[in-house]
Amino acid sequence: MEMERVTELTMDRRPRKRPRLGWDVLTQPPKAQLGLFTAQEIEDVSSYAPSRALLEHPSTLFVKTLAHNGSPPWREDDKDGHYVFEIGEHITSRYKIHRKMGEGTFGQVLECWDREKNEMVAIKIIRSIKKYRDAAMIEIDVLQKLGRHDRDGNRCVQIRNWFDYRNHICIVFEKLGPSLYDFLRKNNYRSFPIDLVREIGRQLLECVAFMHDLHLIHTDLKPENILLVSPEYVRVPEKISSRSAKDSTYYKRIPKSSAIKVIDFGSATYDKQDQTYIVSTRHYRAPEVILGLGWSYPCDIWSVGCILVELCSGDALFQTHDNLEHLAMMERVLGPLPQHVLKKADRHAEKYVTRGRLDWPYGATSRESLRSVLKLPRLQNVIMQHVDHSAGDLIHLLQGLLKYDPAERLSAQEALRHPFFNRDRLRR
């Protein structure tokens, strides 16, 4: 009997550094002077409310007092305003830190035991810097609005609680499974089965339609921000052919459940006219955002299209960190950008356009950049290479989700009526 060969990646095989824009481009506030308090000045550290002066300059904060509930004395935040913790200590008397789940620009996510509810929860601890605190309060407002309208919590992550602890906004969420990106990474970037892609895509579009009906735009949809509800999976054998060796049998992970929830509403915004600041993580950023044309609901739809391709192929569709190269990749995969779209480019993006056409390949910065674009296949070929059935329906759907002109792009509700999601139902 052959031994099971399971490939686990500890390092990414592709460049996935994705600098977030928006809140991140603001200037860092100056470090505050150390604030020193005695136990007599603070009756209860866990419910302490910082002064207005500390809220204005919260990048460094230290309290010299004895903590309770088994926690050590209040430590100074690190140089970037992240909360410094140890496994086993408490956040207030209610939550015991079990492990660190992740870290981002906003702060950290910790898995904690809720002593009141007797369950594990995820707590997002925001950096003690004003711009991130302000963003967190916006996120709380959005989450509470979503919760009021989606009482069953079918598509969006549910907020359980929030509080201000030692100058850190803490948001308590239900505990979910891994993100789609983490699942792909641990699965050696092997694609999901098309039927699973269909179910995930349906749920994702239902969430987007729900948000858009509430006049909200997520603006940062990506596999990292879509979580499987359950961490459980099964392994199925998969043969991989190699020119240099005999066929090998590997084991591919398949989630037991297709249920997902969308997270990270810190960049969500209400629809307004003439929004032109940069949104979305690079790989999922719509052309109107890059060209400065103004963006609205359709920027979420473009991101959904990129995500579906990635789930089918295992790789991000546009792997770049340069605007002109990104636009050239779009043309390589989807065809030429329309002149009426390019002519609207704002003063920051007009350098990418020459005589109504994209300035490519003349504007390429290197031969490597040229090769990165030339090696990309057309959208149809990407899908046909990885999808054994429903390929025609999926290609047609993606062509509607990835329209260059946002006015021509499918809405979430229109996409949900597409045959890719409904043909099997009609056959029954």
Tell me whether residue 195 is one of the annotated catalytic residues. no
Quote the CA–CA distance of 251 and 336 in Å, as a whole number: 40
Please tell me which residue in 12, 114, 164, 220 is annotated as part of the active site.
220
What's the start-to-end Cα distance of the chain, in Å? 41
Token pair, residue 216, equals: 């909200």
**SS3 readout for the chain:** CCCCCCCCCCCCCCCCCCCCCCHHHCCCCCCCCCCCCCCCCCCCHHHCCCCHHHHHCCCCCCCCCCCCCCCCCCCCCCCCCCCCCCCCCEECCCEEEEEEEEECCCEEEEEEEECCCCEEEEEEEECCCHHHHHHHHHHHHHHHHHHHHCCCCCCECCEEEEEEECCEEEEEEECCCCEHHHHHHHCCCCCCCHHHHHHHHHHHHHHHHHHHHCCEECCCCCHHHEEECCCCEEEEEEEECCCCCCCEEEEEEEECCCCEEECCCCCCEECCCCCCCCCCCHHHCCHHHHCCCCCCCHHHHHHHHHHHHHHHHCCCCCCCCCHHHHHHHHHHHHCCCCHHHHCCCCCCCHHHEECCEECCCCCCCCHHHHHHHHCCCCHHHHHHHHCCCCHHHHHHHHHHHCCCCCCCCCCHHHHHCCHHHHHHHHHC
The 3-class SS string of 143-167 reads HHHHHHHCCCCCCECCEEEEEEECC
CA–CA distance, 347 with 350 (Å, rounded to integer): 5
Where in the sequence numbering do the catalytic residues fall? Answer: 220
